[in-house]
Structure 1
Amino acid sequence: MELFERIKNLRKEVLQKTQEEFSSVIKISRSNLGSIEIGRINVTSRVISVICTEYDVNEGWVRTGDGKMFEQLTDHQKVMKYT
């Protein structure tokens, strides 16, 4: 699975978000997200970083498909993230 396919799968199948909802959270336009999801434009490191931060997604998984999809945060990390 390619990077753009992982992002689309994450958004649509796992998080069950519309393009509008997801693009709003990651702070890009819906049309840019659509272009990313079909591989028309490349995903920037900033977008990957925001996806990983907002949804606790493993950056290695997003970039390469290796490892688990979601980060396993400790209780302390969870507290620090939301304070």
Structure 2
Amino acid sequence: MADYTVDQTLDCSGLLCPMPVVKTNKAMKELEVGQVLEMIATDPGSIPDMEAWARQTGHELLLAQEEEGKYRFHIKKTH
């Protein structure tokens, strides 16, 4: 069980690269530091894309998992 709560969910199902990253970046700007965004995508490329985006932006990728063709990410805003 995670020791955090998801503060906002962003469904990017059906969107192809780079739109899940673009929408995630925009949504993160609306969160307060310490809040967690859940992003759901169906694009298989979203896993390496989100890992790279988190490294580049400095936000913390808490979860990246695939389940039944959906990719779920939990990202904590760090700054």
- Normalising by the residue count of structure 2, what TM-score does the alignment of the two structures yield? 0.34
The structure having more radius of gyration, on CA atoms, is 1
Of Structure 1 and Structure 2, the greater strand share is in: 2
Say which structure, 1 or 2, has more relative contact order (CA 8 Å, 6+ apart): 2
Return the structure number with greater helix share.
1
